[in-house]
Amino acid sequence: MSELFLSARALTKTYAVGRRSLEVLRGVDLTVSRGEFLALRGASGAGKSTLLHLIGGLDSPNAGEIFFKGQNLANFSESELTQFRSRRVGFIFQAYHLLPELTALENVCLPARVARISAGQTGRRGRELLVRVGLKDRTDHKPSELSGGEQQRVAIARALINEPELLLADEPTGNLDSKTGGEIIELLKNLCAEKQMTLVIATHDEKVAARAERTIQLVDGQVQSQQP
C-alpha cells in the first residue's frame, strides 16, 4: 500500500439551512493508500457522510482540494466527473436505494447500462456478482421479496458492476442486525481483497470500525484522532 491513492487537503463544507450556515467539515485532511480498508467513525452529524460524498465526487467542497491518483477533482470537467463517479467509484448506502419495480439482476446491472456497456456483458457480470454475494437463486426477485441483508448484498453487487477502484460505503450495516452486519463487512473485505479495491466505510459502529486496517475519528467536522 505504498501508492498514495487518494488525498484531501483542508476540506471545508458548509450548507445553508434557512438563514443559517451549517459548517459540516472544518479543515479535514485525509490520505488513503491503494488497497486500504479505512473506517470513518463518528456520531451522527460528525461529517462522515459529507466526507464520503466529497471524495466520491457527489458534491464539491467550499474550500480545499481532493486528489485521486494525483489528479485534482476540481480540474475535472462535468463529463470527466460523471465518468469518474460511474467507472472508478462504487457507492453503497444504508438505505439500499434499489428500484422497487426492477429485479435484483436489473438493479445490479443498472449502472452498467447507464454507462452504455453492452447488455450481454452486463448481464453476465451481473449474474456472476449475484453468485459471489450469495444470491444465485434471487436474480429474478424484486426488493420487496428480499430481506434487508439480501437487499444490501444486491446493493454491493450493483456498486461493483463497473469494476471500480474505490468503494465507498455509508453506514452499510445501519439497517441490519449484528450477525447480518458482520457478514456484510466480511463480504466487503473479501471482495475488495480479491479485486484490489480501496474501501472506505463511514460508520458509528465500533465493531464495524474495528474490522478496518485504520480508523479515523471525526468530531464536529474535524479529525480528532487516527488509529492503525
Tens of pLDDT, residues 165-206: 999 999 999 889 999 999 999 999 999 888 889 999 999 888
Structural domain contains residue 97: yes
Q: What is the mean pLDDT of residues 158-163?
A: 94
Q: What is the mean pLDDT of residues 34-62?
A: 94
Structural domain contains residue 42: yes
Pairwise CA distance, residues 211 & 173, whole Å? 13
Q: Examine the pLDDT at 32 and tell me if it is beyond 90.
A: yes
Structural domain contains residue 208: yes
Q: Global pTM? A: 0.92
What 3-state DSSP class applies to 210? helix
Structural domain contains residue 173: yes
pLDDT at residue number 185: 93
**Mean pLDDT score across all residues of the chain:** 92
pLDDT at residue number 45: 87
Helices 148-160, 119-132: crossing angle, 10 deg rounding: 130
158: containing domain: 35-58+77-227
Residue count of the chain, please give it. Answer: 228
pLDDT digits (tens, 9 = 90+) for 14-30: 998 888 989 999 999 99
Q: Which residues contact 48 (CB under 8 A, 6 or more apart)?
A: 40, 41, 42, 170, 202, 203, 204, 218
**CATH code of the domain containing 146:** 3.40.50.300
pLDDT at residue number 50: 95
pLDDT at residue number 41: 94
pLDDT digits (tens, 9 = 90+) for 115-154: 888 889 999 999 999 999 999 999 999 999 999 999 999 9
Structural domain contains residue 52: yes
Structural domain contains residue 71: no
CB atoms under 10 Å from CB of 189, counted, come to: 16
Number of H helices, E strands in the chain: 7, 10
Pairwise CA distance, residues 96 & 102, whole Å? 13
- Per the structure, the count of domains in the chain is 1
pLDDT at residue number 7: 95
170, 92 Cβ separation under 8 angstroms: yes
Pairwise CA distance, residues 48 & 31, whole Å? 15
Pairwise CA distance, residues 104 & 133, whole Å? 12
pLDDT at residue number 3: 60
Q: Which residues contact 79 (CB under 8 A, 6 or more apart)?
A: none
DSSP class of residue 43 equals -
Helices 104-114, 119-132: crossing angle, 10 deg rounding: 130
Structural domain contains residue 12: no
Structural domain contains residue 110: yes
